[in-house]
């Protein structure tokens, strides 16, 4: 049986839901996965793949910097970022906080908090390249520019809300919504890509 070591950044945000979605995806994929709750730079070293959960992107950045993880995260070959995690992956951020930094791994521009405030959060059925699903948007960003190498995986009307990019031997997946609350489809897709790109 093939195996993967998958980290979930566990300093802040919706960690448990991602672990549950990974476990559900694994049942369908018939692979063995070791899940690592990533809290230190050392935890990053054995990973085949990393999931960066939603939460708050500047808080995530600061906690990662405090732990000396920020630059080391860039070495992980396969990364899936949801919501704040997608912001962390983006090369450019509109409405960034003062001094906000990202990993600058994916050739996209994201508009932070583009759907309004926390109480304007919503849930809706969206069409994606992976099928229709119920998607939860919590103070979500929009993807406002994608580079040539980026493939769009979902839109909300005209707005881009999920994409992927392959760069050399690396693979990145970003969603503005939170697939981990409603489905394991994106996790399954990510794990399959990670298996290929080890
Ligand atoms: N608005 C948040 C940020 O800028 C992201 C929200 C989320 O991850 N649900 O980081």
Domains annotated on the chain, with CATH: 3-196 (3.40.50.880)
* Furthest C-alpha separation in the chain: 47
Q: Report the pLDDT value the prediction gives residue 196, as an integer from 0 to 100.
A: 86
User: How far is C-alpha 37 from the chain's CA centre?
Assistant: 15
Task: List 150's β-bridge partners, or say none.
Answer: 165
Instruction: Tell me which residue has its CA closest to atom 2 in ligand 1.
Output: 56
The per-residue pLDDT for range 92-142, each reduced to its tens digit, is 999 999 999 999 999 999 999 999 888 888 999 999 999 999 999 999 999
pLDDT band (50, 70, 90) for residue 198: low
In the set 17, 18, 83, 163, the catalytic residue is: 83
Q: How far apart are CA 3 and CA 67, in angstroms?
A: 28
Q: Is 9 in the pocket of ligand 1 (CB under 6 A)?
A: no
Residue 146, classified by CB atoms within 10 Å of its CB into exposed (0-12), middle (13-18) or buried (19+), is middle
């Amino acid at each position: 049986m093939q195996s993967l070591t998958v980290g979930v950044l566990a300093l802040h945000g919706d960690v448990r839901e991602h672990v549950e979605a990974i476990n559900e995806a694994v049942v369908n994929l018939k692979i063995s996965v070791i899940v690592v709750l990533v809290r230190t730079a050392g935890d990053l070293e054995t990973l085949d793949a990393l999931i960066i959960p939603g939460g708050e992107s500047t808080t995530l950045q600061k906690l990662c910097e405090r732990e000396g993880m920020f630059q080391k995260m860039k070495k992980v070959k396969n990364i899936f970022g949801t919501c704040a995690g997608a912001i962390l992956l983006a090369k450019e951020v509109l409405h960034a906080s003062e001094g906000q930094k990202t990993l600058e791994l994916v050739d996209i521009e994201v508009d932070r908090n583009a759907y309004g405030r926390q109480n304007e959060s919503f849930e809706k059925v969206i069409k994606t390249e992976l099928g229709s699903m119920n998607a939860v948007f919590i103070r979500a960003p929009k993807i406002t520019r994608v580079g040539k190498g980026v493939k769009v995986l979902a839109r909300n009307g005209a707005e881009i809300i999920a994409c992927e990019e392959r760069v050399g031997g690396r693979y990145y997946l970003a969603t503005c919504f939170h697939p981990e609350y409603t489905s394991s489809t994106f996790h399954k897709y990510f794990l399959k890509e990670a298996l290929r790109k080890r």
